[in-house]
């Protein structure tokens, strides 16, 4: 943001200088305007604070943190579900594979999602219920905030295997996700729908590595149109691999009923994505690519038009990103790069990955460089922004926060629904809530300190949710879409 403001100021000063040289602006006026602009720039540059809030939690397979209705953050390691307070106190909620054969699953992957019933839902890449399922290939599970665990589905191969991107809950209450492999004739993965009780429906099985792609990377994201969008790491057109020639991947759309559309073939440098897309406030989708020797951040319109925003050239601190992007409430995107070249990071090294900011127009600023001996290394999970305005992320050995001086806000869950639907609104220190409105239409609600249960009111239209508290007004970070 600062760099953008500086660039705009420089262009402004340059234009004023030209005018002054032509005699169309008094020199003293020119000096005054420039001085005033510089003062304004100094006053509006954001604060930036990086803090390591926990160490030794354990690594997680592409497992970003999420915010729960109790105000804590939740995530998974290779063997546990844990919660962490914003201040850094860690509590382990559940440990996987406590019985022979791991009937509860093994190696959780992707972000958890808190359902409208208050339970958390997630996936594991391995294990599952044995018995009729001879070769279990991962699970879908639910777990309460107190740690009561239920395996609601075990993948058998015919319905997919190795889910690796977490779940997203649709407006109707079902969850949607992907499996990396199995499910089709060539075992190239699936997209699926599953109810909170475990009734699974395969929406689409990738048939080949041709036009439809294969091996979905990460999970799904729901667009403003109610459909789900995702990426594959293989298939498509141009070869992005120097090993198996499997293609650069694709971007696809699948409706809640399973109608599948390939939107785009990915081309270098935007190929070989490893994480889910992010939905931007402009309705476009944003993602990262990990093409060998080079990577990129890209934008895609809902109809599949791809634009490269930034190309990572593999120099120190700028290896290709593995994690996805998250859009902050300032409109910028935030992400991470991992250890340069994917090598082991020694304690004395200072090029152990970065946190960066990327504007929607493609201007990148490095915000932080990791040093293995002090603050961890190799950040490979997508950042999240909590409702206190602060970003949280993970390295291979730590959990950290990054404050950019952004204001608190609220998050609707889900972000779309019809009139009469009850939704959860997450927040921080929600004391003295006196009003909740959907794009200006007042709603009935019940408020707690970290979450509000509100009903979409009659007459509501698509727009921002506003929450009035004793300390001020909070706005939602996304538009809430009122459906029919």
User: What's the DSSP call for residue 70?
Assistant: T
Nearest to 97 by CA among 129, 134, 64: 129
> Which pLDDT does position 62 carry in this prediction?
75
Nearest to 79 by CA among 66, 64, 94, 63: 94
Same domain, 348 and 361: yes
> Which pLDDT does position 241 carry in this prediction?
62
Comparison of pLDDT for 271 and 419, the residue scoring more: 419
Average pLDDT, the chain: 84
Report the pLDDT averaged over residues 435-452.
97
> Which pLDDT does position 153 carry in this prediction?
95
How many domains would you assign to the chain?
Answer: 3
Burial class (CB in 10 A: 0-12, 13-18, 19+), 34: middle
pLDDT in tens, 33-73: 333 333 333 333 456 999 999 998 877 767 899 999 999 99
d(CA 408, CA 86): 14
The answer, yes or no, to whether residue 400 has pLDDT greater than 80, is: yes
User: What's the DSSP call for residue 479?
Assistant: P
Quick check: helix, strand or coil at residue 97? coil
Same domain, 86 and 172: yes
Same domain, 28 and 136: no
Report the pLDDT averaged over residues 203-220.
80
**Confidence class of residue 280 from pLDDT cuts 50, 70 and 90?**
very high
pLDDT in tens, 225-265: 999 999 998 887 676 765 455 678 899 999 999 999 999 99
d(CA 235, CA 211): 7
> Which pLDDT does position 245 carry in this prediction?
54
pLDDT in tens, 117-130: 999 999 999 988 86
Residue at token pair 């075992």: 187
Same domain, 343 and 390: yes
The answer, yes or no, to whether residue 23 has pLDDT greater than 70, is: no
Same domain, 305 and 440: no
Report the pLDDT averaged over residues 285-297.
86
d(CA 27, CA 9): 18
The answer, yes or no, to whether residue 472 has pLDDT greater than 80, is: yes
Residue at token pair 């239209």: 461
- pTM of this prediction? 0.87
Same domain, 21 and 92: no
Comparison of pLDDT for 331 and 293, the residue scoring more: 331
End residue of a domain, out of 403, 423, 446: 403
> Which pLDDT does position 101 carry in this prediction?
82
Provide the token pair at 309.
Answer: 């925003």
- Strand (E) or helix (H) holding 228: strand 228-234
> Which pLDDT does position 131 carry in this prediction?
57
The answer, yes or no, to whether residue 456 has pLDDT greater than 90, is: yes
The answer, yes or no, to whether residue 96 has pLDDT greater than 60, is: yes
CATH of the domain at 445: 2.60.40.10
Same domain, 184 and 321: yes
The answer, yes or no, to whether residue 211 has pLDDT greater than 70, is: no
**Confidence class of residue 341 from pLDDT cuts 50, 70 and 90?**
low
Q: If DSSP states are collapsed to H, E and C, what string results for 181-229?
A: EECCCCCECEEEEECCCCCEEEEEECCCCCCCCEEEEEEEEECCCCCEE
Residue at token pair 């639907």: 421
d(CA 22, CA 15): 11
**Confidence class of residue 133 from pLDDT cuts 50, 70 and 90?**
low
Burial class (CB in 10 A: 0-12, 13-18, 19+), 432: exposed
For the ranges 83-97, 311-325, 447-461, the lowest mean pLDDT is seen at: 311-325
Nearest to 2 by CA among 330, 387, 407, 475: 330
Same domain, 387 and 419: no
Same domain, 252 and 333: yes
360 touches 282 (CB < 8 A)? yes
Report the pLDDT averaged over residues 325-337.
96
The answer, yes or no, to whether residue 11 has pLDDT greater than 50, is: no
pLDDT in tens, 354-388: 899 999 999 999 999 887 767 877 788 999 999 99
Report the pLDDT averaged over residues 437-460.
97
Name the most confidently modeled range: 260-264, 268-272, 387-391, 415-419: 387-391
CA distance to 169, 171, 173, 192, 484, per residue, from 256 (Å): 11, 10, 11, 9, 15
The answer, yes or no, to whether residue 25 has pLDDT greater than 80, is: no
- Strand (E) or helix (H) holding 340: none
Same domain, 101 and 37: no
End residue of a domain, out of 355, 381, 403: 403
d(CA 291, CA 289): 6
User: What's the DSSP call for residue 286?
Assistant: E
C-alpha gyration radius of the chain: 23
Same domain, 28 and 128: no
The answer, yes or no, to whether residue 148 has pLDDT greater than 50, is: yes
Residue at token pair 């970070």: 477
Residue at token pair 């409706």: 255
End-to-end C-alpha distance for the chain, whole angstroms: 38
CATH of the domain at 369: 2.130.10.10
Task: Determine how β-strand 416-418 pairs with β-strand 481-483.
Answer: parallel
End residue of a domain, out of 382, 403, 424: 403
**Confidence class of residue 98 from pLDDT cuts 50, 70 and 90?**
confident
Same domain, 274 and 338: yes
d(CA 265, CA 268): 10
> Which pLDDT does position 269 carry in this prediction?
87
Cα–chain center distance at 424 = 19
Query: What dihedral do alpha carbons 28, 29, 35, 37 form, nearest 10°?
Result: -170
Q: Which domain holds residue 432?
A: 411-483
């Amino acid at each position: 943001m600062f760099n953008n403001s500086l660039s705009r100021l420089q262009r402004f000063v340059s234009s004023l200088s030209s005018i002054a040289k032509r005699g169309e602006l008094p020199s003293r006026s020119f000096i005054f305007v420039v001085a005033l602009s510089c003062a304004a720039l100094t006053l509006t540059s954001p604060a930036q604070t990086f803090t390591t809030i926990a160490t030794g939690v354990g690594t997680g397979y592409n497992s970003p943190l999420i915010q729960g209705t109790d105000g804590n953050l939740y995530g998974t390691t290779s063997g546990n579900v844990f919660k962490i307070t914003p201040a850094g106190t860690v509590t382990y909620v559940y440990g996987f594979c406590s019985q022979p054969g791991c009937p509860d699953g093994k190696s959780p992957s992707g972000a958890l999602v808190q359902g409208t019933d208050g339970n958390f839902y997630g996936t594991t890449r391995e294990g599952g219920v044995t018995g009729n399922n001879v070769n279990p290939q991962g699970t879908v599970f639910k777990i309460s905030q107190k740690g009561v665990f239920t395996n609601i589905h075990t993948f058998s191969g015919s319905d997919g295997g190795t889910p690796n991107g977490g779940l997203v809950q649709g407006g109707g209450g079902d969850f949607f996700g992907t499996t990396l492999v199995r499910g089709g004739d060539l075992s190239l993965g699936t997209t699926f729908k599953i109810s909170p009780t475990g009734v699974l429906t395969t929406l689409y099985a990738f048939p080949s590595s041709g036009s439809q792609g294969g091996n979905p990377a990460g999970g799904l994201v729901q667009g403003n149109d109610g459909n789900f969008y995702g990426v594959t790491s293989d298939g498509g057109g141009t070869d992005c691999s120097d090993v198996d020639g499997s293609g650069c991947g694709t971007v696809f759309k699948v409706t809640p009923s399973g109608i599948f559309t390939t939107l785009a073939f990915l081309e270098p440098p935007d190929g070989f994505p490893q994480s889910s897309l992010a939905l931007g406030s402009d309705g476009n989708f944003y993602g990262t690519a990990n093409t060998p020797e080079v990577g990129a951040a890209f934008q895609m319109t809902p109809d599949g038009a791809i634009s490269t925003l930034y190309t990572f050239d593999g120099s120190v601190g700028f290896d290709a990103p593995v994690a996805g992007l998250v859009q902050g409430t300032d409109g910028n995107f935030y992400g991470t790069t991992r250890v340069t070249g994917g090598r082991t990071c020694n304690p004395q090294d200072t090029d152990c990955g970065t946190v960066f900011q990327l504007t929607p127009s493609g201007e990148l600023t490095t915000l932080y460089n990791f040093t293995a001996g002090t603050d961890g290394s190799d950040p490979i999970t997508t950042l999240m922004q909590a409702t206190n305005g602060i970003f949280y992320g993970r390295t291979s050995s730590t959990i950290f926060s990054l404050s950019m001086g952004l204001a608190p806000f609220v998050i609707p869950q889900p972000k779309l629904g019809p009139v009469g639907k009850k939704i959860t609104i997450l927040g921080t220190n929600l004391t003295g809530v006196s009003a909740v409105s959907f794009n200006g239409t007042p709603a009935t609600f019940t408020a707690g300190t970290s979450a509000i249960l509100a009903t979409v009111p009659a007459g509501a239209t698509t727009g921002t949710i506003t929450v009035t508290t004793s300390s001020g007004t909070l706005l939602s970070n996304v538009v809430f879409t009122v459906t029919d």
